[in-house]
């Protein structure tokens, strides 16, 4: 029978119409599934949107209320004189709240530029050890107040990277800030940086804090995603830091990977590619050829 006709004409035509019907049923079910998943996606998008609006309103309103409240007290100074030390303190509070507001607004602008592919890095040579020194000293007081040991270790040699120094600083500021924010009193945060044998640069930020499970890591990496609403609300934040950090590192040709387990701390590992690989990715990264 090999090579001969399979079945009679009648069975063939029956099979033909059966497979036609099956095809139609598959198509119908695919369309139904597509409609269903489009509906689910729209639901998720709506939920994220409303969570975003309520989070954002809170994040924007808190510093704005500070600005309005304390500037009103200052403006009333002629009628209700304030002691000199209060004037200085109120001005300081207004300054802190406004710079907090500016950070939030810049984050929103960054994420929308990144998402639309319009974000451009200001490429230059930068000393990573200096950036990490400055970030850790910025957080030293906060860590001391929170009873958390903060250590930096970058070995003996200066570590030079090619990238946008200001943005790299922003990334590590956020990662170190998170590590402190989500670690309990008595815990520790260690930042270490090394040049690897293949000339890539690896920076690890390890904390002994609350940690996250796999699903929570996914949430944390998505824009506006915060793992534990209550805890984060208490700690403040927009949930934009991590997705921006990851996107910025990827714009540098690098990677940002989070390893964590609930209750046993978090390790964020950032790598910058070796110069030879950066050279190969030059076109994709929008990096201009070196002059001279």
Ligand X SMILES: Nc1ncnc2c1ncn2[C@@H]1O[C@H](COP(=O)(O)OP(=O)(O)O)[C@@H](O)[C@H]1O
- Does 63 sit near Mg ion (CB under 5 A)? no
Query: CA 244, CA 164: separation in Å to the nearest integer?
Result: 14
CB of 45 vs ligand X, minimal distance in Å: 19
Query: CA 4, CA 90: separation in Å to the nearest integer?
Result: 94
CB atoms within 10 A of CB 249: 22
Q: Which of 290, 2, 285 is nearest to 119 (CA)?
A: 285
Q: Which stretch binds Mg ion (CB under 5 A): 38-46, 114-122, 135-143, 178-186?
A: 178-186
Residue nearer to ligand X on the CB measure, 36 or 113: 113
- Does 173 sit near Mg ion (CB under 5 A)? no
CB of 144 vs ligand X, minimal distance in Å: 18
Query: CA 136, CA 88: separation in Å to the nearest integer?
Result: 27
Q: Which does 179 bind (CB under 5 to 8 A by kind): ligand X, Mg ion, none?
A: ligand X
Residue nearer to ligand X on the CB measure, 187 or 273: 187
Among residues 173, 209, 241, 243, which is the contact residue for Mg ion, using CB under 5 A?
241
Task: List, in sequence order, every residue forming a beta bridge with 197; answer none if it has no partner.
Answer: none
Number of residues that bind Mg ion (CB under 5 A): 3
- Tell me the residue nearest to Mg ion as measured from the CB: 241
263 — phi, psi (to 5°)? 85, -5
Residue nearer to Mg ion on the CB measure, 97 or 227: 227
CB of 261 vs ligand X, minimal distance in Å: 10
- Does 178 sit near Mg ion (CB under 5 A)? yes
Residue nearer to ligand X on the CB measure, 76 or 184: 184
Q: Which does 228 bind (CB under 5 to 8 A by kind): ligand X, Mg ion, none?
A: ligand X
Q: Interface residues with ligand X (CB under 6 A)?
A: 174, 178-179, 182, 207, 209-212, 220, 226-228, 232, 237-242, 266
- For residue 267, give the 3-state DSSP assignment: strand
Task: Find the Cα–Cα–Cα–Cα dihedral 200, 205, 208, 213, rounded to 10°.
Answer: -70
Residue nearer to ligand X on the CB measure, 131 or 176: 176
Residue nearer to ligand X on the CB measure, 179 or 278: 179
CB atoms within 10 A of CB 221: 16
CB of 113 vs ligand X, minimal distance in Å: 17
**E strand map for 133-292:** 149-153, 160-163, 188-195, 201-207, 255-260, 266-272
Task: Find the Cα–Cα–Cα–Cα dihedral 270, 274, 279, 281, rounded to 10°.
Answer: -30
Binding site for Mg ion (CB under 5 A): 174, 178, 241
């Amino acid at each position: 029978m090999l090579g001969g006709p399979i079945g009679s004409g009648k069975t063939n035509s029956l099979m033909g119409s059966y497979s036609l019907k099956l095809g139609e049923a598959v198509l119908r079910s695919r369309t139904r599934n597509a409609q269903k998943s489009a509906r689910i996606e729209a639901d998720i998008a709506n939920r994220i949107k409303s969570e975003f609006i309520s989070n954002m309103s809170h994040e924007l309103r808190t510093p704005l209320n500070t600005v309005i409240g304390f500037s009103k007290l200052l403006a009333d100074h002629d009628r209700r004189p304030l002691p000199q030390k209060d004037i200085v303190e109120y001005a300081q509070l207004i300054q802190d709240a406004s710079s907090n507001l500016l950070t939030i607004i810049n984050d929103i602008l960054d994420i929308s530029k990144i998402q639309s592919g319009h974000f451009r890095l200001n490429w230059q040579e930068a000393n990573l050890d200096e950036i990490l020194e400055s970030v850790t000293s910025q957080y030293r007081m906060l860590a001391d107040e929170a009873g958390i040991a903060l250590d930096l270790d970058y070995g003996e040699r200066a570590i030079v990277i090619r990238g946008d120094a200001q943005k790299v600083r922003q990334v590590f500021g956020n990662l170190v800030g998170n590590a402190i924010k989500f670690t309990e009193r008595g815990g520790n945060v260690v930042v270490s940086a090394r040049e690897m044998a293949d000339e890539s640069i690896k920076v690890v930020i390890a904390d002994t804090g609350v940690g996250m499970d796999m699903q929570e890591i996914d949430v944390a990496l998505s824009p506006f995603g915060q793992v534990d609403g209550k805890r984060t609300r208490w700690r403040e934040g927009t949930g934009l830091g991590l997705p921006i950090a990851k996107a910025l590192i990827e714009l540098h040709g690098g990677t940002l990977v989070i390893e964590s387990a609930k209750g046993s701390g978090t390790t964020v590992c950032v790598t910058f590619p070796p110069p030879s690989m950066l050279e190969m990715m030059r076109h994709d990264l929008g990096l201009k050829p070196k002059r001279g």
